[in-house]
Structure 1
Amino acid sequence: MDLMVTATADLDTPLDLHLTLEREAEEVDDELHETCLPDFYKRTFRHPYLQERSFTFDDYEYFPVGVTGKLNPRFADYVIFPVEDNHTTVGYVARHTWSKAEIDTHNRKAKYNGEYKILRYRNSTDNDFSKLLYNYDSIRPDETDTVILTEGIFDVIALTRKLELYDNTHIAAIATFGKKISDVQLYKLQCKGVKVVVVGYDGDAVEAVKHTVDRLKPYFEVLVADIADAKKDWDEMEVDQVYETFAYRLLTPIEYKLSKVQEK
């Protein structure tokens, strides 16, 4: 609860909280189709790749993840995260268990040997990911007033673990699947009654953060969690570094832009 965000003097611009009015809502196409998980998908509660990424029992419990094993060769070496919306599977993200360096090395050799390249991610295609938010169902309508906006699934899980947000009904970490937010994603946050959005994109995504802040400002109170080390993301940071970010580097949009000008 000590991490709950309160408005500051800089957040005095009147908010337009009416994106969900009937006229506007008709322009937002948020229709989603139910997605089937890959054949032979089976939920797992222990996996070597995830253990290396510091997964705990609570992570497995709160964030369903599964594998297909060799029964489905297409996904044999992937861990698969379902994407839920209103308790319905509307997509999935499949992450190869090899490191990026290993995949790049393999693909360079495959290019010359005429072999198939390995995709780092093999995701669903039924719904456009610009319409999806990972961990969206953790936002409780008119109760969760603050969300931390991240780029990807592992950022969400890392923040939830390190800030102990598993059962926090007031703050939730969610992912936009990239460094930008769409009209549909804005609309979906408003539908849940979110009031404050903390932009927590990677430290090197300065221009993306500025753009996202500008998109959010008319509808929410906005703050930026400015990661000190631009080479790290939430998954790579130690717990004390995460807490220090929220304690000392939680900036208003104006403060963030000025800090980046000074850094230049």
Structure 2
Amino acid sequence: MAKSRSSTLRQRFHGWLSDDADEAVLRWIFRGVLTVTIVALTADLARMEGWTADPHAAAPPAEIGADSPALDPGMLPSILAPRSPDGDKRLIPLPQPGGTMAKPMTFELVGGGKLMATGTITPGISQSFAAEVGRHGDYIRTVVLNSPGGSVTDALTMGRLIRERKFATEVEAGKYCASSCPLMFAGGIERRAGERAMIGVHQVAAIRSATAGPPRDEMSVAQNISARCEHYLADMGVSLQVWVHAMETPHDRLFVFRPDELKSLDVVTAATASSPIAAPAPATTKTRS
């Protein structure tokens, strides 16, 4: 029975081909091309809508900080890296920090009234900074930064405390201050950068946390953070062109300011002074979050 049915189907197929073999072949080719095209378009649409992962997309950035259970309004950490392939000396790739820079920011008092702030601005680190200032604010004159950035909210909080206490800020020669760190740097009543100090910015990233929470509009959150940063920079006397550069730079890149731009945009307000000879710092103090 099955053999008879199979034989009949073959006979019909051969008969169909014999009627107009060329036309039949063309129809099959057309149908094949159409099927492949539909599959390809469906796959592209799925990637665009986020239904499937794009194999060519960059890996999502690591999560840094969170103001709510559902979203992370913090900027991503960054470290200086080789120049970008496009040859722009100010636009460089943004790898994840390692070593000391990947750890939560630490605070250490040194001679000359300086508080060294080194490492990532992790969520809540502003509380440790405030505690340090509370203990040694009468001694501190300058907050010296060496940081890949991190939480925007904490950077803004620390920057405002720096301005309230009338501290200066500094990035020493050969060190760097990137991502949200320049917001903290902007709080200085006087701002200094040493030779070959690197200061750079990029876009704010609002990232969904793994912790469950009510759905929120990431774009709205990012825009709100951006507005807060603009108001802050205006309060600190820094040109808003700084934030334009940040918003134009993808979060996987870093826009590095030239020395002349740092001065013309009022990011840096004074030349780096030589370290004064002073009494040793009060006995303490190296704190971590």
Same fold judged by TM-score > 0.5? Answer: no
Computing the radius of gyration over CA atoms, which structure comes out larger, 1 or 2?
A: 2
Relative contact order, higher structure (CA 8 A, sep 6+) = 2
Greater share of helix: 2
Superposition TM-score tier, normalisation by shorter sequence = under 0.3
